[in-house]
């Protein structure tokens, strides 16, 4: 009987297109870094004006807007934050606000009870620990209620221009996996991979540009690979 030397699961993976991720895994670290630098360069040309799509007039406003953006579109957040910041303009105002009043103002962003609690708790911490000012360090920011690495990186990058890391949102994580720059769905692990290959002076812009790329070309369901400026650099991991 003629037997194959490959295990059955390998054959099944090949039939399903499962060998594509293996292409990325075989790539050397040096080759991946060089390819990532070319990707960052192409994105800079394709999206030279990409920026944070949340509206804000201060680091404080961006901090709260980013907390609200969890599981919500930036467009919806922007519709809410205008009236929100007119009613409560400073951290001390939020710190003294009643939770049910904040909930009512942010209801349409989803998870409004948890978000209201985070907004009020964050502002109380700003007042009590930082004199009402937004701290400029990752270590200090992540101790605030409702603030994780993603939110801290957004604030430091877009409000202060400090490259503390790469913001990994849904678009950035999905497309970075598709590009073979990370295998991880976990945002912290994906960020660790990205900061190792993306030039530090591109960390802030990389996220903004990849988000725009994900909205216009590299969409989740039907990526427009035929018009993609990264097509020759992309192993198309997971693309059927």
On whether the CB atoms of residues 19 and 13 are closer than 8 A, the answer is yes
**Cα of 149 vs its chain's centroid, Å:** 10
| Residue 74 structure tokens | 């930036």
Which DSSP category does 135 fall into? P
Residue tagged active-site, from 20, 115, 150, 236: 150
d(C-alpha 152, C-alpha 35), whole Å: 28
**150 given a catalytic annotation:** yes
| Residue 150 structure tokens | 């993603």
Sign for the CA dihedral angle at 23, 29, 34, 38 comes to positive
User: Distances in Å between the alpha carbon of 170 and those of 34, 218, 220?
Assistant: 24, 12, 10
Residue tagged active-site, from 33, 55, 117, 169: 169
**169 given a catalytic annotation:** yes
Catalytically annotated residues:
150, 169
């Amino acid at each position: 009987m003629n037997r194959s030397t490959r295990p059955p699961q390998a054959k099944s993976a090949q039939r399903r297109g499962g060998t594509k991720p293996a292409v990325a895994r075989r790539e050397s670290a040096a080759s991946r870094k060089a390819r990532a630098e070319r990707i960052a360069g192409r994105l800079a040309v394709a999206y030279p004006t990409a920026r944070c799509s949340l509206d804000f007039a201060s680091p404080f406003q961006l901090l709260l807007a980013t907390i609200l953006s969890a599981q919500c579109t930036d467009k919806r957040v922007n519709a809410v934050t205008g009236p929100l910041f007119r009613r409560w303009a400073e951290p001390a105002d939020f710190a003294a606000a009643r939770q049910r009043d904040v909930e009512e103002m942010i209801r349409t962003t989803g998870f409004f009870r948890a978000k209201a609690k985070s907004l009020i708790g964050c502002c109380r911490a700003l007042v009590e620990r930082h004199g009402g000012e937004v701290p400029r360090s990752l270590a200090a920011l992540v101790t605030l209620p409702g603030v994780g690495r993603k939110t801290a990186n957004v604030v430091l990058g877009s409000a202060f221009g400090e490259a503390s890391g790469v913001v990994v949102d849904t678009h950035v994580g999905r497309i970075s996996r598709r590009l073979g720059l990370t295998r991880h769905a976990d945002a912290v692990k994906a960020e660790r991979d990205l900061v190792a290959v993306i030039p530090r002076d591109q960390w802030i812009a990389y996220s903004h540009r990849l988000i725009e790329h994900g909205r216009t070309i590299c969409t989740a369901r039907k990526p427009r690979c035929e018009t993609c400026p990264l097509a020759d650099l992309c192993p198309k991991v997971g693309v059927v």
